[in-house]
A and B are shown apart, each in its own frame.
Chain A
Amino acid sequence: MVALRLTRAGRPAVQFRRLLVAAASAGTGFLLLGALGHALGHPGTAGAALRLAWCVVPVAATVYFAPAVARTDPGTRPRPGLSAVGLGPARLTLVSVLTTALATVLGSLLALLFFLHLRGDLSGLPFDRAGRQFLAAGRPFPVPAALTLLAVVPVLACAAVGLALRPRRDPRPARRRVVRGLGGHTDTAAPRETFGAYGRFGARARAGAVAAEPGPGTTAVGTVPAPGDGSGTPEARTGTATEAPDDHAPQDPADGDPLAGDRAPEDERGDDDASLLADEPTREVPAGLPWGVAALAAGLAAQAYGGPALSVRALTALPAEATTVLIGWAVTAFGLVLAAPGLTYLCGQLTQAVRPGALRLLAGRGLMAEAVRIGRPLGVVCAVGSAAYALTVLYRGPAASFGPLALLGAGVVVGCTVATLLTAAVEARQDRAGTTAALVRLGAPRSMLRGAALLRAGVLVVVFGALALLIAELAALPGTR
């Protein structure tokens, strides 16, 4: 009941996002039923299985979209008040799963109704029996099969939402979200040792001293090796530290952010060495870029190897060598998704490089901070876009054989991925609402904040648009030669 109440009380934008999930679920369900109808109409042909296999793509897109919407749902976000009365993260996960189930089941039911209507089983409406031959109207309708197919999307979407929003062992405040996985936040308890941290200058030299001394003021570069340095006296003479030790000793481990205490030694080591040379060592760099590029190259190579003279006539009647090409496409898409966060981070870094003003600083750093959240869906959109482009280049059949079902599938996939990207942007904006309000209180012009957002979007569009075009051209090259 709580789920229903919370669902009903949403604002229009929230309801719109939920309706989008329902629409995606409806489209996917109709595609699945369409495959079923085709199989009923043409028993014993090989195309049916292939049709059903193609439905995996829209199903995946829908299941990818559902958690993104669930994450931005304000009704299912942990709230202090609700948590105090016992509606904590665990129950809220259940609530968001139920909300997703509601939307997807609604979509599936719509798909079923429309399917039955097109078959002519429900009469009295326009387009009655419009798809009679196509959807095997004359044959009895296998209800269990249809229900099984229609249950696929709700079950998978609910599982994905539950997995993405499952309560974590140690929920930390949003400030500490360092690495965001596909869903939720995975933050490691101990600071991770980044690449090259072991060999960094002076990283090991004072490890013993740091472990012995709790006070942070005693680990500066110019520490005079006092006799009592290792024995933990707070009065150790320091070269550069200006703060009085008594100012900090009581507050550091106990006060405020409880993480400051267990992070302190690592930070002191990493930062004080480098502080004169560079800014804070970047810990948020998404790691997938090299792997992504490798996968991208491998996928393109597989496509080039597999299909030197491939031309698609119909998606349901692929030649034998198309398997290699399809595997190549999958690997390419995977590589894009892996590489996109790193690329986004690079875009941000380039935006704020070389003496930035406030605009470029806010735009670039924002991009760097949101690299994973924005980058993943952006990579997916990029992969879908380049696939669509390459497919239109490779396609040599008559124009009419891009049937309505193929168009519907393409629409579902493109719509879901783009909507996921936009939802991720909404999520990022929701996360930054507090910061934006503080900036406005400072008197930051709203035009500048909008300009920063536009700059961010523009850089991403230029870079990723070029990347998608490049990949699509490379992928289509063997086929068009």
Chain B
Amino acid sequence: MDAPPDNDVLWARSLHFTHRDGSPGIAGISLGVREGEILAVCGPRGSGKTTLLRCLSGQVRPDQGEIWFNSAPTHTLGPVARERLRRDRYGWIDPAPVLVPELNAWENAALPLMLRGTGRRRAKAAALEWLERLDVGERARRRPRSLTLAERQRVCVARALAGGPTVLFADEPTAPLHRADRAHALRTLTTAARSHGITVVLATHDSETAALADRTVSLLDGRRVKTVHLPETTETEGRAAWSLSV
């Protein structure tokens, strides 16, 4: 591992994580995320992408290894401090849209800001602005159950972006969508990140999605691998991984 450059906003060294039931998660992953870049964490299902993102975003604590955010260690923080870090600095997008069902779209999008204590008016303005930008502005007063899946996912993206996070973790944000919606959601996500200088860590098993990123980190069985060649056609997910050389 070479020395981390100064502009690494997030930096991890030899992360190990084993799930509670003993199944292996990730083993010895080191990576650095530069400020303002879009980093794709690529790999087949079960390769430890979600676990890596959960470690990096402070949702779980790695068994071994270090995570530094803005030159401060986060792996030593307690749960409350990590919670505050997630609230103030990080954004998170789930694979499937999980919205609070009893809040309408703009309230959902404004929730992270409200949780931080931002005033209602400002939170609403920011949320509505992002919803407009993601083409769900006219559905801002609908409850999640009357939105389609793609719209719900876009509300989730708006919720993650409205808080103005330093780092945005997107765990397969387009997994449940059809390709048209997938391209749309990804395009808006990457455009917004670039225009606002938000660092994005994007987990995906799709090489097309990974092509949108600045840099790609490939995982296989919880380890980081160097990609020699990704085949053009991937008929089944995971086939690409078998042509990787470790």
Q: Which residue of chain B has its CB nearest to the CB of A431? A: B101
Q: Contact between B114 and A255 (Cβ–Cβ < 8 Å)? A: no
Number of chain A interface residues as a range: 35 or more
Residues of chain B contacted by A275 (CB below 8 angstroms): 138, 141
User: B100, B111, B180 — which one has the most chain A CB atoms within 10 A of its CB?
Assistant: B100
Distance between B130 CB and nearest chain A CB, rounded to angstroms = 14
A242 and B135 in contact (CB under 8 A), knowing A280-B143, A442-B87, A445-B83?
Answer: yes
Q: Out of B100, B132, B150, which one reaches A362, CB within 8 Å? A: B100
Interface string of B167-179 (1 = CB under 8 A from A): 0000000001010
Q: Contact between B98 and A361 (Cβ–Cβ < 8 Å)? A: no
Q: Contact between B94 and A280 (Cβ–Cβ < 8 Å)? A: no
Interface string of B123-149 (1 = CB under 8 A from A): 000000000100101100111111111
Verify if A318 is at the interface (C-beta below 8 Å from B): no
Verify if A241 is at the interface (C-beta below 8 Å from B): yes
Docked Cα-Cα span, A355 to B120, in Å, equals 7
Residues of chain A contacted by B146 (CB below 8 angstroms): 260, 263, 267, 271, 280
A358 and B142 in contact (CB under 8 A), knowing A369-B102, A441-B86, A445-B87?
Answer: no
Q: Which residue of chain A has its CB nearest to the CB of B84? A: A443
Residues of chain B contacted by A280 (CB below 8 angstroms): 104, 141-143, 146
Distance between A242 CB and nearest chain B CB, rounded to angstroms = 6
Q: Contact between B149 and A256 (Cβ–Cβ < 8 Å)? A: yes
Residues of chain B contacted by A267 (CB below 8 angstroms): 142, 146
Q: Contact between A441 and B115 (Cβ–Cβ < 8 Å)? A: no
Q: Which residue of chain B has its CB nearest to the CB of A174? A: B101
Residues of chain A contacted by B222 (CB below 8 angstroms): none
Verify if A211 is at the interface (C-beta below 8 Å from B): no
Residues of chain A contacted by B148 (CB below 8 angstroms): 251-252, 255-257, 260
Distance between B20 CB and nearest chain A CB, rounded to angstroms = 15
Count of B interface residues, CB-CB < 8 Å: 46
Q: Which residue of chain B has its CB nearest to the CB of A369? A: B102
Q: A3-11, A57-65, A198-206, A432-440: which lies at the B interface?
A: A432-440
Docked Cα-Cα span, A46 to B101, in Å, equals 56
A442 and B137 in contact (CB under 8 A), knowing A175-B101, A280-B143?
Answer: no
Residues of chain B contacted by A251 (CB below 8 angstroms): 148, 150, 178, 180-181
Q: Contact between B102 and A366 (Cβ–Cβ < 8 Å)? A: yes
Q: Contact between B149 and A446 (Cβ–Cβ < 8 Å)? A: no
Verify if A365 is at the interface (C-beta below 8 Å from B): yes
Q: Out of A240, A241, A439, A443, which one reaches B100, CB within 8 Å? A: A439
Residues of chain A contacted by B94 (CB below 8 angstroms): 438, 441
Verify if B43 is at the interface (C-beta below 8 Å from A): no
A279 and B137 in contact (CB under 8 A), knowing A435-B98, A441-B59?
Answer: no
Q: Contact between A247 and B135 (Cβ–Cβ < 8 Å)? A: yes
Distance between B89 CB and nearest chain A CB, rounded to angstroms = 9
Q: Contact between A220 and B87 (Cβ–Cβ < 8 Å)? A: no
Residues of chain A contacted by B117 (CB below 8 angstroms): 357
Q: Out of A241, A365, A366, which one reaches B138, CB within 8 Å? A: A241
Verify if A250 is at the interface (C-beta below 8 Å from B): yes
Q: Which residue of chain A has its CB nearest to the CB of B54? A: A441
Q: Contact between A255 and B138 (Cβ–Cβ < 8 Å)? A: no
Verify if B44 is at the interface (C-beta below 8 Å from A): no
Verify if A444 is at the interface (C-beta below 8 Å from B): yes
Q: Contact between A443 and B86 (Cβ–Cβ < 8 Å)? A: yes
Verify if A356 is at the interface (C-beta below 8 Å from B): yes
Q: Which residue of chain B has its CB nearest to the CB of A240? A: B138
Q: Contact between B184 and A442 (Cβ–Cβ < 8 Å)? A: no
Q: Contact between B101 and A255 (Cβ–Cβ < 8 Å)? A: no
Residues of chain B contacted by A445 (CB below 8 angstroms): 80, 83-84, 87, 115
Distance between B66 CB and nearest chain A CB, rounded to angstroms = 21
Verify if B103 is at the interface (C-beta below 8 Å from A): yes
Verify if B11 is at the interface (C-beta below 8 Å from A): no
Docked Cα-Cα span, A443 to B83, in Å, equals 5
A448 and B143 in contact (CB under 8 A), knowing A280-B104, A438-B94, A441-B94?
Answer: no
Residues of chain B contacted by A362 (CB below 8 angstroms): 100, 103
A176 and B104 in contact (CB under 8 A), knowing A251-B178, A441-B92?
Answer: no
Residues of chain B contacted by A357 (CB below 8 angstroms): 114, 117, 120
Residues of chain A contacted by B59 (CB below 8 angstroms): 441
Q: For window 412-454 of chain A, which residues contact chain B by CB distance below 8 Å?
A: 434-435, 437-446, 448
Q: Out of B85, B101, B112, which one reaches A369, CB within 8 Å? A: B101
Q: Which residue of chain B has its CB nearest to the CB of A284? A: B102
Q: Contact between A448 and B107 (Cβ–Cβ < 8 Å)? A: no
Q: For window 252-275 of chain A, which residues contact chain B by CB distance below 8 Å?
A: 252, 255-257, 259-260, 263, 267, 271-272, 275
Distance between B81 CB and nearest chain A CB, rounded to angstroms = 11
Verify if A368 is at the interface (C-beta below 8 Å from B): yes
Docked Cα-Cα span, A435 to B138, in Å, equals 24
Docked Cα-Cα span, A275 to B178, in Å, equals 29
Q: Which residue of chain A has its CB nearest to the CB of B142? A: A280
Verify if B90 is at the interface (C-beta below 8 Å from A): yes
Verify if A235 is at the interface (C-beta below 8 Å from B): no
Q: Contact between B176 and A256 (Cβ–Cβ < 8 Å)? A: yes
Residues of chain B contacted by A437 (CB below 8 angstroms): 98
Q: Which residue of chain B has its CB nearest to the CB of A220? A: B138
Q: Which residue of chain A has its CB nearest to the CB of B86? A: A443
Q: Out of A257, A263, A355, A361, which one reaches B149, CB within 8 Å? A: A257
Residues of chain B contacted by A358 (CB below 8 angstroms): 111, 114-115
Please list the 8 inter-chain residue pairs (A to B) with the smallest Cβ-Cβ separation, ordered nearest first: A256-B149, A443-B87, A443-B86, A438-B98, A358-B114, A365-B102, A369-B102, A175-B145
- 5 A–B contacts from the bound complex (CB under 8 Å): A256-B176, A257-B149, A369-B102, A441-B94, A443-B87
